[in-house]
Each structure stands twice: as C-alpha cells, then as structure tokens.
Structure 1
Amino acid sequence: MILREAQLLELTEKLRASPWVAMDTEADSLHAYPEKVCLIQISHAGGDVLVDPLTGLNLQPLWEALAGRELIMHGCDYDLRLLRRTHGFLPAAVFDTMLAARLLGYKAFGLSDLVEKHLGVRLEKGPQKANWAMRPLPPHMEAYARNDSRYLKPLEVILRAALQERGRLEWHREMCARLVEQSARELAADPDTVWRVKGSGQLDRRGLAVLRAVWHWREHEAVAANRPPFFVFSTEEMVSLAALASTGQSFEHLLPRRFSPARRQRLLQAVNKALHLPPEKCPQLAVRRPTVRMTMAQKRMMNQLQKHRDAQAARLGMDPTLIAPRATLVALATDGEVARQQLMEWQRKILF
C-alpha cells in the first residue's frame, strides 16, 4: 500500500517506464456523502500496487504520470466520472475490457466471468457492500482490490486480438472515446428538477414546496453526517411527508425515532417555512413532455430499422442494443439526420 510521497514518486517513475498501465478504483458510495475515491488499484509491467488517497497524499504526480496514455480498465464509466469529479483527472484514452467483451458478443462480461473464461482463475466474490474507507483494510479486501487490476492486461491482450480478428477494434476505440468524452462533460444537476423525486408528480404546488424544502434539508443533513441521503430519510418518506403537510395533516409519525431533537427541529423549521411561502413562490407543476406520436410512415421506418438492426446483430452475434437501443431507433425514425449524426461511425455503417 502506497502511503507516503516518496513511495508515490517511485511508482510514477515505474509507470512512465511501463509500456502499459491498468487501473481500477474503490469508493464509499454506500457509506459516505458525498462519495469519494478510497483506493486506487494500479497494475503495470513491474507489478500490482494499491494507492491510498485517504492519507492526504498529493496525487498530482500520479495524474501527470498517467496523462496522455491509454489505461486498461473494466466497466469504467463510474470510475471515470468519479475521478473527474473528485480529482479532476481523466485519461486520454481507455481500453475497457467489458465493452470489448460485449462487442464480441459475450453473454457474461463481468470481470470474474472474463478472468475465469480466458485465464482459468476463479476470483473470490468480493465484499460488495464493504466500507472501502475503513483503515486498516483487512487482508482479504486488499487481495480483492489487487485482483481488480491484476488480470486486466492479460485480458486486454486476448480481447484486443479477438476484436482485431473480427474487424471490431475500431468500433471499440470509438466506444471508449465516447465514454471518456461523456465523462468529461458531465452536466450539473438542474436545480429545479434535482429534487423532483419519484412520486413528486402526485403533489400540488404547495406539496412541491414542502418536498423541495425537505430535499434540501436532507442534503444538508447527509453532508453534515457524511452519510448517503437515503440513510437520513427515504425518498418515499419525503413524498409522503410533503403530501400530508401540504394538506394540513400530521406527519410526525413518519419521522424516525433515531432523529436527534436538533435534526427533528431543523426538519420542522424547513417544512414550516415551505408551508408559509407565498403561492407565487411555490414550484410550478412539472410540465409533462408530450408523448411522441409517430406517423404511420415513421412507424414503418422504425419497424424497418429494428428488423434490419436485429438481423445485423444476429449476423454479428452481438446484443442489438449495442447497435442502437429502442430510443435511438425512435429518434432515427422521427428526427432522422440529427439522430443519425449522434451515432458512432461503426453504428451508422451497420444501420445504413
């Protein structure tokens, strides 16, 4: 485990000299709020290492050593977004082994599935709900973490060769590039919609005012307690509270007994403030998006596209939704050229 600056600098020299680098991360999304990167697993030509970002290490030398090169990762969309959001880092390119397996038509494409299939190694089931922020990490968690990056390079060699043989390596490059691009331009949450949780559509404007206030109260409490929001108060309970409070009914039976007097008081103050907002300050009801009604010609176009996509997918032995999910087919049938330009080049060549 790399805990000190000197160790990190030594690692960066090895990474610069290595012809390849594989990486994975572990976070604490089930145990803290906001979530953070708790462990960085790195494999290179010289071995496997764990970097502990919770020690206060200056990780800038690590990001500089990794800049401008391709990283081998598995199912990395979450990792990329978290690294960009918490450390401001994104690799120049990735080779995602999960995407490679999907393009090759694999039905089981989890890391353990691929490692067992190609390398004959059965990985132990990992601690899915473990708190990766705990220190020291138990030996079995360290071993599990190392395995997440240890086998990525041999998998990459096998999968890259298979993609090349089947003429799909460029498809994979496009998909990985799109993944990095999307992670780089993650949009900020809309302040008028972020609090409109499932069930909010049943509330009137006063109820929405209460829900908005309770949502912001929960966010504050979650950050202060460093606990995920659902540990503080569930979404269902928020909607029920808003419905009752906005119609003058008692809602205190919904408040968990674990609430401290101070937390309870802050919630009651937030609700009371929302109940006394001037009507014009209450949120507007959500405008329902009109259902897209396709013309008969558009429906015929979509059916033709779907049949063609499914036939191509069967010929290629891959999941049809990789070529185009249903929403994309609808967009192609109703908004042709715009939707077509949003496809990747390999998808366009298959569909048209």
Structure 2
Amino acid sequence: MKLNSVTLIENQHDFSKFILDLENSAHVAIDTESNSFYAYFNRICLIQVSTEEQDYIIDPFSVGDIKALGEVLSSPDIEKIFHAAPNDIAGLKRDFKFLVNNVFDTSIAAKMLGYKQLGLAPILLEYFGISLDKKWQRYDWGRRPLRDEQIEYARFDTHFLIPLRHKLVAELTEKDLFDTAREAFEKLCVQQFAEKQFRPGDFLHIYGAQSLDIVGKRILKALYLFREKEARRRDRAPFRILTNETLLRLALQRPKSVQDFSKIKGIPRVYLTSRAAVQLLELIRKNEEQEDEVFVN
C-alpha cells in the first residue's frame, strides 16, 4: 500500500491549513501519544491525524492554540476513527476540553467480529500484512525535538485506520452487526472518564504488603506517601521515584545507615547520597519507633 506524505505541524500557519483539510474530509483518523510512563501529570504530547490522502503529526506544545481541532472532533458531519478510543477521548477532554462526536472504534468493531487479538499491530498484520515497529512504544513523547524516525513511527498509528474502517464496516454490515457497533460507538461519546485518584490505603495492594508485621506496614505506608509527594513535586511517574518492590524491601530490611542503602536492590542512585538517604532513614526510624497501629483510609 502506497504511503501518504506526512506533515509535522508546529506553527499556527500550518495548523490552519491542516484544519481546512480536515473540514473537507468525511473520515479522519485520530490517535494521541502521552507521557504517562514518565510523568506524574499525564498529558497529551502528540496528536496524530490522517485523512484519506495525508498523515499529520501535531505538536501541541509548539502550536499552542489548537481549539479549532476541537470543533472538528465535535462535528457530527465528520467521522472520527480511533483504535481503542477511550484513553484518547479521555485525554483530549482532560487536556483540551474537547468533546468528540461521530466515532468509529476499530478495536470495538474487531471485537464484535470475533477477533481475539485486539491490539492495532495484530489487526494490521491480519488485514494489510503490515508489521508495526514497536521501538518507540515506551518513548517519552514529551521530549523535544522529535526525530524523523519518531515521526515516522507515530504516523502508522493512524495511517491505516481509514482503510481498516472501510473493511470492518463491510464485515459488520455483512454480519448484520453495524447498527450494534454504532450504538457502542455512540456510548463512547457520552462516557464519563474519571481521573484515577490517589488513595493512601492502596499501599496494602503492593504485592507482599499483607505479609508484613504492623511495624512493616507502618513503614511501608510512610514510604508510599513519601513517594507520592515526591512524584507530584518532580512530575515523575511514581515507579520512577521508587518501585513497589523497592518500597517493600525498605519496609522489610529497615536500613539504619547510608551504607545499608547500597545493599538494597533497586535503590536509585540519588538515594545513595547522604542528604536523600538521611531523609528516608529518618522516615523509617520514626515509623519503626512509634507505637500507633497503621491507619488505612
């Protein structure tokens, strides 16, 4: 299959021309890339859009004002094609206050047709014989500048969605499932998406936490709260501050000195310096010595 050209949108002038193209399109494929694997405050860092003739990569950091895209997304006259739409729709609403109407979700359609592997890669392999490169799947899309190979990778998340949609519509229609699918798509447009809330008591969901004694649980909770505070302050994913496994090891081994930290698997280098280590050591010491039972809310 011949590839469309790909255009990186980084300014208002190019963005305006891009919007004109979308307004003249019956079908528009959409995907987003975020930095949730790296940042505490998850945000959309890249928006991929394809029409029948063109692939676009929008850099929302550079363009700035992209509210005109919201008007396209909410238009009932232009069908928006996603693969596994809920996360994308939720992110677009969270970050830009966009509402999406007239949706076709290729993942839902494939599921209704009986496919077991619902990821985009196996579906594209089935329909087009295309193998997607997963090299940049866990990339921090908040980083700049974007490299050519990253732009090329990102375009493939939407490039095939319109022709895939046409094939799926034909199968759904043949099996008399199209109306059922359309009802499912309409529910996506009105579904409420709630942001995951931090709950202090969730430290007990860490694997191995239930086997700790009362002192260990008290220490684990204190470390869990410390990690949350640090993750918010540094805008980093909590596991990049300290993993759950490391929190549990600290609660079990209860280091008494900076030297003890070097013996605990998974401790980041920053916590091997005296200042950072002393902070954690004091936290562990205080919770080891107090007599109150652990409080779970």
Alignment-derived partner of residue 127 in structure 1: 136
Alignment-derived partner of residue 159 in structure 1: 168
Cα separation, partners in 2 of 1:110 and 1:187, compared to 1, 3 Å:
closer
Pick from 220, 223, 240 the counterpart of residue 211 of structure 1: 220
Q: Report the RMSD for the aligned CA atoms in angstroms.
A: 2.9
Shift of residue 222, structure 1, vs aligned partner: 2.8
Cα separation, partners in 2 of 1:193 and 1:16, compared to 1, 3 Å:
farther
**Percent of pairs with identical residues:** 31
Shift of residue 43, structure 1, vs aligned partner: 1.1
Pick from 270, 281, 286 the counterpart of residue 268 of structure 1: 281
Pick from 90, 94, 115 the counterpart of residue 85 of structure 1: 94
Alignment-derived partner of residue 27 in structure 2: 20
Pick from 47, 72, 76 the counterpart of residue 54 of structure 2: 47
2: distance between equivalents of 1:207 and 1:86? 39
Alignment-derived partner of residue 30 in structure 1: 37
Equivalent residue runs for 1:286-305 within 5 Å? none
Please give the per-residue CA displacement for 1:49-105, whole angstroms capped at 9, x wherever unaligned. 110022261222222331244420112333233333333334234211122112112
Secondary structure at 2:167's aligned position in 1? Answer: helix
1: distance between equivalents of 2:70 and 2:151? 22
Pick from 7, 10, 14 the counterpart of residue 3 of structure 1: 10
Equivalent residue runs for 1:37-116 within 5 Å? 37-55=44-62, 57-69=64-76, 70-116=79-125
Kindly provide the amino acid, as one letter, of the partner of residue 53 in structure 1.
P
Structure 1, 17-26 or 73-82: larger mean CA deviation: 73-82
Please give the per-residue CA displacement for 1:191-224, whole angstroms capped at 9, x wherever unaligned. 2433332322223444333222211211233344
CA contact (8 A) 2:9 2:63 kept: no
Pick from 176, 180, 202 the counterpart of residue 211 of structure 2: 202
> Which blocks of at least 5 consecutive residues in structure 2 are unaligned?
1-7
CA contact (8 A) 1:206 1:279 kept: no
Alignment-derived partner of residue 182 in structure 2: 173
1: distance between equivalents of 2:187 and 2:217? 37
Shift of residue 161, structure 1, vs aligned partner: 1.7
Structure 1, 12-21 or 35-44: larger mean CA deviation: 12-21
CA contact (8 A) 1:195 1:212 kept: yes
CA contact (8 A) 2:200 2:225 kept: no
Task: Say how many residue pairs are matched.
Answer: 281
> Which blocks of at least 5 consecutive residues in structure 1 are unaligned?
287-352
Kindly provide the amino acid, as one letter, of the partner of residue 201 in structure 2.
T
Matched, 1:147 2:156: yes
CA contact (8 A) 1:18 1:44 kept: yes
2: distance between equivalents of 1:102 and 1:212? 41
Shift of residue 113, structure 1, vs aligned partner: 3.1
1: distance between equivalents of 2:94 and 2:202? 18
Structure 1, 120-129 or 31-40: larger mean CA deviation: 120-129
Matched, 1:186 2:191: no
1: distance between equivalents of 2:216 and 2:189? 40
1: distance between equivalents of 2:68 and 2:200? 39
2: distance between equivalents of 1:47 and 1:81? 25
2: distance between equivalents of 1:199 and 1:84? 37
1: distance between equivalents of 2:121 and 2:91? 23
CA contact (8 A) 2:35 2:42 kept: yes
